[in-house]
Amino acid sequence: MSTQAGPPPMVQAANVSKWFGDLVAVSDVSFSIGAGVTALLGPNGAGKSTLLRMMCGLARPSNGMVTVLGKNPRTDVAVLGRIGMAPQQESLLDYLSGREFVELTAQLHQVDNPVEAARQAIQTVELDPDDPRRLSTYSKGMRQRIKLAQAIVHDPLVIALDEPLTGLDPRQRREMIQLFHRLGDEGKCVIVSSHVLDEVERFGSRVLVIAQGRLAAEGDFREIRNLMDDRPLRISIRTDQPRVLATALLENSVISGCRLEGTDCVVVDTTEPAAFRRAVAPMARDRDASLLELRPLDDDLESVFRYLVGQ
């Protein structure tokens, strides 16, 4: 299990597993998270939401232990007062207005001035606290933001946000990411899940990569990015001279293997994608070969995660 230097971790998972019947959602995951923004990155169905639910006490680990601020959030009701969560699902208490919804959260958390706290939280997410409309009329982006407002209205120490940027426009995303950083800088533990690689890059934070229920990688985003960039890549090249081009690429050690497909296609494997990209065009030109198409075959997020799991 990894530990962060400095202050004690605010959220800790020790050998946590969670299964639903035969389905293993989370498998033997251990980590520690302290103050600041931490991204939980992984494809859909990787187990991110299940992990977040266990961190908030909403689900019981089948094995292992999750603690928040040293307490078990599943059994210690008091520690729930220090947790704020925006779940992934869109559903809200639709018969309430946005202000009533956030006020309710403040009241249940026994905030001193729930009306004012709700007003501030709603303004923080750039919604109108005086909007009398019911939540049922809110757009997807507005629902995301009101969920954020209820997650922060009681000034929690640990904030778990499940795909919070879904449905927001680029400007709102930028604002929200700034808000996450501000909260992190204030010493709060902000855990944000996402399946979008570029989105997580913009968090510029510590990353836990979850794939197939396992912790595939963790660390600073740049380290993860480098790890991803170094992975072998399979590329399909369509050219009028596939045999000639493949031979040249092999001779120059730009690729580690190749396979001819049909009369105008060669599929190559490379462990140096950057070098390959630099070399392929000049080599084709030198041999009078026309490059018709270059297509990465495993550049989707799933394959990136599969690679990381294998590492």
Partner 1 sequence: MNSHIYRVVVRSQISTGRLLALAGLSGVAILLAFVARAADDPVEVATRSMGTFGTNIFAPFIALALGSAALGNLVEDRTLVYVWLRPVPRHSVATAAFAAVISVVGPIVVAVMTVAAAITGVGDLLVATAVATALAVFAYSGIFLALGLRFKRSLLVGLGYIAIWELLLSRLGDWFARLSVRSYPMSILSDATGVEMRLADRSTLASYVVPLAVGFAGLVYTSWRLSRTEID
Nearer to partner 1, 83 or 254 (CB): 83
Q: Which residues pair with 266 in a beta bridge?
A: 237, 260
Residue-by-residue DSSP string for 155-218:
--SEEEEESTTTT--HHHHHHHHHHHHHHHHTT-EEEEEES-HHHHHHHTSEEEEEETTEEEEE
Q: Tell me the C-alpha distance between 200 and 183, whole Å.
A: 16
Least Cβ distance, residue 69 to partner 1 (angstroms): 13
Q: CA 227, CA 310: separation in Å to the nearest integer?
A: 12
Whether 144 and 175 have beta carbons less than 8 Å apart is answered as: no
Segment near partner 1 (CB under 8 A); pick from 34-42, 105-113, 214-222, 230-238: 105-113
Q: Which of residues 255-284 bind partner 1 (CB under 8 A)?
A: none
**Comparison of 90 and 261: residue with beta carbon closer to partner 1:** 90
Between CA 7 and CA 32 the distance in angstroms is 11
User: Measured between alpha carbons, how far apart are the two ends of the chain, in Å?
Assistant: 17
Output 81 or 219, the one with its CB closest to partner 1: 81
Give yes or no for a contact between 12 and 158, defined as CB atoms under 8 angstroms apart: no
**How do beta strands 11-20 and 23-33 pair?**
antiparallel
Q: What mask of x and - would describe binding to partner 1 in positions 215 to 254, judged by CB under 8 A? A: ----------------------------------------
Contacts to partner 1 from residues 40-99, by CB under 8 A: 53, 56-60, 77-81, 83, 85, 87, 89, 91-93, 95-96
- Residues listed for the chain: 311
Closer CB to partner 1, 93 or 260, in the complex: 93
Selected range binding partner 1 among 104-112, 216-224, 242-250, 271-279, rule: CB under 8 A: 104-112
Measured from the CB of residue 40, what is the shortest distance to partner 1 in angstroms?
18
> What distances in angstroms separate CA 81 from CA 111, 149, 157, 162, 250, one per listed residue?
10, 15, 9, 18, 61
Nearer to partner 1, 43 or 61 (CB): 61
Q: Residue 160 forms beta bridges with which residues? A: 85, 191
By the rule CB under 8 A, 144 interacts with partner 1: no
* Comparison of 36 and 114: residue with beta carbon closer to partner 1: 114
| Smaller CB separation from partner 1, 59 or 207 | 59
| 101-109, 233-241, 269-277, 294-302 -> range binding partner 1 (CB under 8 A) | 101-109
Find the binder of partner 1 among 109, 119, 143, 195 (CB under 8 A).
109
Binding of partner 1 by 161 (CB under 8 A): no
d(CA 7, CA 84): 21
Q: Does 105 bind partner 1 (CB under 8 A)?
A: yes
**Backbone phi and psi for residue 210, each to the nearest 5 degrees, phi listed first:** -110, 125
Sheet containing 11-20: order of strands: 23-33, 11-20, 63-68
| Interface region with partner 1, contact rule CB under 8 A, candidates 100-108, 117-125, 177-185, 257-265 | 100-108
Minimum Å gap between C-beta 52 and partner 1 is: 11
Residue numbers at the binding site for partner 1 (CB under 8 A): 53, 56-60, 77-81, 83, 85, 87, 89, 91-93, 95-96, 101, 104-105, 107-110, 150
